Amino acid sequence: MPELPEVEVSRLGISPWLDGQRIVNVIVRDGRLRWPVPDEVYHLEDVLVKAVRRRAKYLLIDVGDGEIVLHLGMSGKLRVVDASTPVVKHDHLDFVLGNGKSLRFNDPRRFGACLWQPSGQQLVQLAGLGPEPLTADFDGQRLYVLSRNKKSAVKNFIMDNAVVVGVGNIYANEALFMAGIDPRRAAGRVSQSRYLALSEAIKNVLGFAIEQGGTTLKDFAQSDGKPGYFQQHLRVYGRTGQACERCGGEIHSEIIGQRNTFFCPRCQR
């Protein structure tokens, strides 16, 4: 499933093509996505794209009186193509632009979404989200305060979108390794100083992943079709039985919160 870096890379890829352009038509070939495509999207016509933003794993296309809200789900991809480009299987949506291009949404599994958020309102999907991890609103002090008395594993804690958005499984594993924290440790038993280190590790890992174009493990590709290259820099994720690059010990794996979790027992405590 595309995580925050992959969604941000998609935003960076499509924004130059959409900013300041008009959506002159919307073609919905199959509106049966995770939630049905709402009527407002079907009837969008001649609206100016003011900005393309990201909130957590959602892309928000601001058209003045509301926002088109896109989610890539497990296998969704966005491409900017010539409007005349032949349609292929699973091309469910086209946002046809005045410059002759189309923003095309392809989603084989149809777990993605295209929603409408009226101006001044908030979709339930976006309510209750924590701060963005790459902003000043997120820091180690927040993690420390919210974690007190929590018995759940620290890995599950930092993956809670009410605590901080967008720290998906891959990046939680990598950040905890960078900070030297055992992912199994109870969140309430991590010290303030170690949470300060963990918040910086989260920022560093996510920032570097964005620079590398995200992580391509199965379905993700950038908007230009290129893969993400962060997987070449993974230090624990998917490396069960391999040598730790830091100490030479063996990388272990366990299931935590129904997710594969990778760590070095020597380096992480």
The pLDDT tens digits for 110-125 are 999 999 999 999 999 9
pTM over 0.75: yes
User: Catalytic: 2?
Assistant: yes
Looking at residues 12-36, what average pLDDT do you find?
95
User: Of the listed 11, 54, 55, 57, which one is catalytic?
Assistant: 57
User: Catalytic: 151?
Assistant: no
pLDDT, tens digit, 9 for 90 and up, residues 29-42: 999 999 999 999 99
Looking at residues 3-27, what average pLDDT do you find?
93
Structure tokens at 25: 């038509």
User: Of the listed 3, 6, 8, 132, which one is catalytic?
Assistant: 3
Q: Which residues contact 168 (CB under 8 A, 6 or more apart)?
A: 1, 3, 4, 159
CA nearest to 184, candidates 238, 266, 247, 265: 265
Angstrom distances, CA of residue 267 to CA of 189, 238, 257: 17, 17, 22
User: Catalytic: 131?
Assistant: no
191 has pLDDT over 80: yes
User: Of the listed 227, 259, 265, 266, which one is catalytic?
Assistant: 259
Q: Which CATH number fits domain 140-263: 1.10.287.3510, 3.20.20.150, 1.10.8.50, 3.40.720.10?
A: 1.10.8.50
Residue 35 and residue 70 in contact, taking contact as beta carbons nearer than 8 Å: no
Report which residue type is found at 10. Answer: S
CA nearest to 76, candidates 218, 219, 212: 219
Is 55 labelled a binding residue?
no
In CATH, the architecture of 4-126 is: Alpha-Beta Barrel (3.20)
230 has pLDDT over 60: no
pLDDT, tens digit, 9 for 90 and up, residues 126-179: 999 999 999 999 999 999 999 999 999 999 999 999 999 999 999 999 999 999
Question: Domain residue spans in the chain?
Answer: 4-126, 140-263
